Amino acid sequence: MKIKVLGPGCVNCKKMHEMTLQAVNELGIDTDIEYVNDMTEISNYIMVTPGLVVDEVVVHEGKPLPTVNEIKILIKQKMAAKGGSSCGCSGCCG
Query: CA-CA distance, 35 to 17, in Å (whole number)?
Result: 7
Q: What is the largest CA-CA distance in the chain?
A: 40
Q: Could you tell me the CATH number of the domain that includes residue 45?
A: 3.40.30.10
Q: 85 falls in which pLDDT band (50, 70, 90)? A: low
| Residue 90 forms part of a structural domain | no
Q: Would you say residue 25 lies in a domain? A: yes
| Residue tagged active-site, from 10, 87, 89, 92 | 10
Rg (CA), the chain: 13
State which residues form the domain around 51: 2-82
Is 13 a catalytic site residue? yes
Number of domains in the chain: 1
CA distance 56 to 52: 9
pLDDT tens, residue by residue, 29-77 = 999 899 999 999 999 999 999 999 999 999 999 999 999 999 999 999 9
**Is 87 marked active-site?**
no
| pTM score of the predicted model | 0.84
End-to-end Cα, the chain, rounded Å: 17
